[in-house]
Structure 1
Amino acid sequence: MAFFLETLLGGLMAGMLYSLVALGFVLIFKASGVFNFAQGAMVLFAALAMARFAEWIPQWLGFQSLLLANLIAFVLAAFVMFAVAWLIEWLVLRHLVNQEGTTLLMATLGIGYFLDGLGQTLFGSAIYKIDIGMPKEPVFAFGSVFPGGLLINKEDLYAALIAAVLVALLSVFFQKTSTGRALRAVADDHQAAQSIGIPLNRIWVIVWCVAGVVALVAGMIWGSKLGVQFSLTTVALRALPVVILGGLTSVPGAIIGGLIIGVGEKLSEVFLGPYVGGGIEIWFAYVLALVFLMFRPQGLFGEKIIDRV
């Protein structure tokens, strides 16, 4: 029982990190109706900015406080992502208002490749470390309940808590603020939102800024775990099944989908892997997403679109 719970907890923690990356896809799709293939590049670009600023700031300002350096680096990286969001809207999106979804999709592919190259030019292409002070040693908990206790990775636990707090803040933002309600109105109908005075360009800047902050937090956490390297863009590919499972238009769906994928990967690898030779964790999420595409293509919480002719 203890081993099962350890595996379950590990899956839940991994699932929260998948949800964090998937949120970037959902936020931009809700506001613009386009699937943002640049999300992986945004995660990498934000992580590179965070890692390099954290390295440069102690040299520039002449102090050695890790906490202060990380805090300043996070703020500077957030401003960089805001600038990227504004430039994307100003140079690309405002010229593509009311264009076909395929056109916007191709635009995000171009943005992704541009951010990959720009990140390498500005920040370098080596493997960088982000040290945000999260403890990496595992701990044993609930020793009075289970013999030997449950082995919990403290870094994964802290990362899951950070992701959960951000998800909660985003949920409050969308449900309780006037800007959040405007974002939901734009998601429902662009033209109707414009007709009642909601500025579409400003909304797109805001949602790309929010997606940039989400990418920064995701890149910071994944960079702390894996190191900041250009393979970090593939983390976004792990979030694709999450948005398919939860629904492209649902913030709660991204959360639930991430938890299902995370738990499913861990349990299948541990309990089914020995019977099929292992490797289930690599393809489990994609097979599950394929099943959902065949039987419920809108996902668990997505809106079913019916075209009447």
Structure 2
Amino acid sequence: MDWYAFLFAVEVAVGGLLSGVMYALVAIGFVLIYKTSGVLNFAQGSMVLFAALTFVSLVEHGVPFAGALLLTLAAMTALGFAIERTVLRPLANRSPMTLFMATLGLAYVIEGAAQLIWGTQVHRLDLGISNAPFEVGGIFISTFDLVAAGIAAAMVAILTAFFRFTRTGLSFRAVADDTFAAMAVGLRLNRIQAAVWTAAGAVALVAGLLWGARLGVQFSLSLIVLKALPVLVLGGFDSILGAIVAGLIIGASEKLAEVYLGPFVGGGIEGWFAYAVALVVLLVRPSGLFGKKLVERF
């Protein structure tokens, strides 16, 4: 491999890693809910869409950027709290399939509500971040991708600090490790789950703004949830660290596969390569790279 070919491969990999950070951000929303309640929240993609639509619509109606951001954060906080109180709490202790179907139905309700409130037109979301590439050592990097990855990484760092050093965060970790032991020492499970759903709403806001600025704010934005599923399978459904590492792996591998394997299969490999990786991982290590292995005794 000559020097220019090496630089090109590095450039492709870096672009994939930056995309992978944004994949991980969506996946973390799933992990937060799954760790505390065991629910695979299929409505996370709709929450991303609702956040992006709310923000861009407020800006288009003349609300300043900072005001729109605060109002959208308040809306997502209220949405997360309402979901936990009205849907998940009444269905506590039901089967995982029942809870999954509840979140699937919830996804359609949120999308319908967004359509009713904000309409169906496509919106352009401008965060003021340039998309012009810049060169570093012969490698061209998208300014938007780099800034977006930095924002996503900052969000991950804030969540990590919150769950490691705050009282609520420590309570969350206790519930995630052993729900019954946490309840036995007096932790209020309902309050903790409400806080987690609120945090998931905040994550959906950041993900919605970044993905909306990249793809445009439209109803297909909710399908970004499908990009998070291979990340969850690879990293483990209950590991934030796993979501980060798996997001990087999926992002880089699918870009490299599209460039170097795509020509041999007619292209389009980027759309399904992540699912092929996830299938292999399921066959070899069903709990993922960082997920906890489930041990059952009969």
TM-score (norm 2): 0.96
Partner Cα separation in structure 1 for residue 134 and residue 199 of structure 2: 34
Which of residues 48, 55, 67 is equivalent to 1:43? Answer: 48
Q: Does 1:278 align with 2:267?
A: yes
- The question of whether the paired residues in 2 share the 8 Å contact of 1:57 and 1:73 is answered with no
Q: Secondary structure at the match of 1:95?
A: coil
Q: Secondary structure at the match of 1:34?
A: coil
Partner Cα separation in structure 2 for residue 57 and residue 248 of structure 1: 40
Partner Cα separation in structure 1 for residue 178 and residue 54 of structure 2: 35
Aligned partner of 2:235: which letter?
G
Match of 2:201 in 1: 212
Of 232-241 and 88-97, more deviation after overlay is shown by 88-97
Q: Does 1:264 align with 2:234?
A: no
* Number of residue equivalences: 293
Partner Cα separation in structure 2 for residue 189 and residue 98 of structure 1: 15
Match of 1:253 in 2: 242
Which of residues 154, 169, 173 is equivalent to 2:158? Answer: 169
Q: Secondary structure at the match of 2:89?
A: helix
Match of 2:3 in 1: none
Structure 1 portions without partners, runs of 5+: 59-68, 143-148
Q: Does 1:92 align with 2:97?
A: no
Which of residues 271, 288, 304 is equivalent to 2:293? Answer: 304
Aligned partner of 2:75: which letter?
V
Which of residues 102, 106, 118 is equivalent to 2:101? Answer: 106
TM-score (norm 1): 0.92
Q: Which whole-Å deviations, capped at 9, do the CAs of 1:27-66 have from their partners, x for residues lacking one?
A: 10011111101011111011111111111134xxxxxxxx
Aligned partner of 1:52: which letter?
S
Partner Cα separation in structure 2 for residue 191 and residue 119 of structure 1: 37
Partner Cα separation in structure 1 for residue 38 and residue 49 of structure 2: 23
Aligned partner of 1:25: which letter?
F
Post-superposition offset of 1:163: 0.5
Match of 1:83 in 2: 78
Match of 1:19 in 2: 24
Quick one: percent identity of the two aligned structures? 52
Q: Which whole-Å deviations, capped at 9, do the CAs of 1:260-302 have from their partners, x for residues lacking one?
A: 0000001111111112211111110000000011110000000
Match of 1:131 in 2: 126
Aligned ranges 1:140-219 → 2 under 5 Å: 140-142=135-137, 149-219=138-208
Post-superposition offset of 1:97: 2.1
Post-superposition offset of 1:99: 2.1
Q: Secondary structure at the match of 1:301?
A: coil
Q: Which whole-Å deviations, capped at 9, do the CAs of 1:102-131 have from their partners, x for residues lacking one?
A: 221121112111101001111111101211
Match of 1:145 in 2: none
Aligned partner of 1:26: which letter?
V
Partner Cα separation in structure 2 for residue 99 and residue 124 of structure 1: 35
- The question of whether the paired residues in 2 share the 8 Å contact of 1:33 and 1:187 is answered with no
Q: Secondary structure at the match of 1:96?
A: coil
Q: CA RMSD in A?
A: 1.1
Which of residues 55, 62, 74 is equivalent to 1:57? Answer: 62
Partner Cα separation in structure 2 for residue 176 and residue 35 of structure 1: 26
Partner Cα separation in structure 2 for residue 14 and residue 54 of structure 1: 26
